[in-house]
Structure 1
Amino acid sequence: MIEIKDLHKSYKMGSNSIHVLKGINFSVAEGELVAIMGSSGSGKSTLLNILGMLDEADQGSYTLDGLAIKNLNEKIAARYRNKFLGFVFQSFNLINYKSALDNVALPLYYQGVKRGERIDIAMSYLEKVGLANWASHLPNELSGGQKQRVAIARALASNPKVLLADEPTGALDTKTSYEVMDLIQGINDEGRTILVVTHEHDIAQMTKRIVNLKDGLIIDDTRVNQVRALSNV
């Protein structure tokens, strides 16, 4: 599903150049649930941005579902993101003046799906995350956990190949974090490929594989015995 080979990325900082990724080799098979860990400055955010087609490597290759991701203009990158990827963020990134239902339906609007159909699809995903009764509510009327569930529903609505979750539990209390991870585990159990960037070891243990980055390199890549989230609640 994902194949990264000899990935390098540097950024200009004034007259200096900072080498952030220093030759990353990394692959993810379809249906995996992988945690990416590392301290601030390890390169995990840069790697996620490249995986999400929000940035491009200086050197190396990135293949997603058999397609080489390179030399994309913003229009093509946006189309590929909408086709292949779903995003979940720590800060939820919901549109405050739109209802939960309209937030979930938004990716389908960009795919050109007619309104009636996209509303039906969005409602089905709100049902999936247990929020059908909150469809008409605005984000400021929802708890943090509910907002993240809406964000997950939105990420799934366009039926992406891969779900990229950037610190999805970072803004939540422990109980709500585990409930969100239970939802993510359930989605993965259905066969969805998911990458979770996290700094929380207990959250990482709820995946099936942990990749540790340090100073722009993968220092450890280990399959783990997955802890089911609700066993901790």
Structure 2
Amino acid sequence: MIEIKDLHKSYKVGKNSLHVLKGINFSVKEGELVSIMGSSGSGKSTLLNILGILDEADQGTYHLDGVPIKNLNEKIAANYRNKFLGFIFQSFNLINYKSAIDNVALPLIYQGMGRKDRMERSMAYLEKVGLADWAKHKPNELSGGQKQRVAIARALASDPKVLLADELTGALDTKTSYEIMDLIQGINDEGKTILVVTHEEDIAHMTKRIVNLKDGIIIDDSMNEQVKAIQNV
């Protein structure tokens, strides 16, 4: 599903160049639930931006569902993002003056879906995340956990190949974080490929595979020991 080879990325900082990603080799199979861990400055946000077709590497190759992601103009990049990817953010990124169902429906507008079909699909995904009764509520009427559930429903609505979750529990308390991760695990169990970027070890250990980044290099890439133990039973 995702294949990255020898990925490098640098940024200009004044007169100097900051080498952020230093030869990343990384692949994700369809249906995996993978966490990318690393402290601030490790390169995980840069890697996520490249995976999300929001930035481009200086060197190396990136294939998404067999499609080479390289030298794309913004229109094609936006089309690929809408076709292949669903995004979940720490800050939810909901539109405050729109209801939950209208927020979920947003990516479907860009797919050209008619209003009736958009509303039906959006309600189905709100039901999936347990928020059907809150469909008409605006974000300021929802808790943090409910907002993140709306964001997950929105990410799923366009049926993306891959979900990219950037610190999705970073603004939530521990109990709500675990509830959200239970939901993510359930979505993965249905076959969806999911990448979770996090700095929280307990959240990473709720995924099936953990990739550790440090100073722009993958220092460890291993199956979650809990998952491995279950598979060996």
TM range (shorter): over 0.9
For residues 76-91 of structure 1, what are the structure 2 equivalents within 5 Å?
Answer: 76-91=76-91
Amino acid at match of 1:157: A
Contact 1:207 1:226 in 2 (8 A): no
Pick closer, same or farther for the CA change 1:79–1:88 going to 2, 3 Å.
same
For residues 42-191 of structure 1, what are the structure 2 equivalents within 5 Å?
Answer: 42-191=42-191
Q: Does 1:38 align with 2:38?
A: yes
Aligned to 2:23: 23
Give distance in 2, aligned partners of 1:102 and 1:38. Answer: 34
Give distance in 1, aligned partners of 2:188 and 2:83. Answer: 18
Percent of paired sites with the same residue: 84
- How far does the alpha carbon of each residue in 1:28-57 deviate from its partner, in whole angstroms, 9 at most, with x for none? 000000000001000000000000000000
Give the gaps of 5 or more residues in structure 1.
228-233
Give distance in 1, aligned partners of 2:199 and 2:124. Answer: 32
Give distance in 2, aligned partners of 1:225 and 1:16. Answer: 41
Give distance in 2, aligned partners of 1:84 and 1:191. Answer: 15
- How far does the alpha carbon of each residue in 1:205-225 deviate from its partner, in whole angstroms, 9 at most, with x for none? 000000000000000001014
Q: Which moved more, 1:193-202 or 1:218-227?
A: 218-227
Give distance in 2, aligned partners of 1:82 and 1:225. Answer: 34
Aligned to 2:231: none
Amino acid at match of 1:145: G
- How far does the alpha carbon of each residue in 1:77-124 deviate from its partner, in whole angstroms, 9 at most, with x for none? 000000000000000000000000000000000100001001000000
Give distance in 2, aligned partners of 1:125 and 1:12. Answer: 42
Give distance in 2, aligned partners of 1:141 and 1:165. Answer: 23
Give the gaps of 5 or more residues in structure 2.
228-233
Give distance in 1, aligned partners of 2:223 and 2:200. Answer: 17
Give distance in 1, aligned partners of 2:93 and 2:225. Answer: 32
Give distance in 2, aligned partners of 1:57 and 1:134. Answer: 41
Aligned to 1:231: none
> 1:183 offset after TM fit, Å?
0.3
TM-score, normalisation: structure 2: 0.97
SS in 2 for 1:83: helix
The CA RMSD over aligned residues, in Å, is 0.7
Contact 1:167 1:197 in 2 (8 A): yes
Aligned to 1:14: 14
Give distance in 2, aligned partners of 1:95 and 1:207. Answer: 29
> 1:162 offset after TM fit, Å?
0.1
Give distance in 2, aligned partners of 1:71 and 1:226. Answer: 40
Give distance in 2, aligned partners of 1:151 and 1:225. Answer: 30
Aligned to 1:221: 221
| Structure 1 consecutive aligned stretches of length 4 or more whose deviation exceeds 2 Å | none
Give distance in 1, aligned partners of 2:126 and 2:38. Answer: 32
SS in 1 for 2:40: coil
TM-score, normalisation: structure 1: 0.97
Amino acid at match of 1:52: G
SS in 2 for 1:168: coil
Give distance in 2, aligned partners of 1:225 and 1:216. Answer: 24
SS in 1 for 2:163: strand
> 1:226 offset after TM fit, Å?
4.5
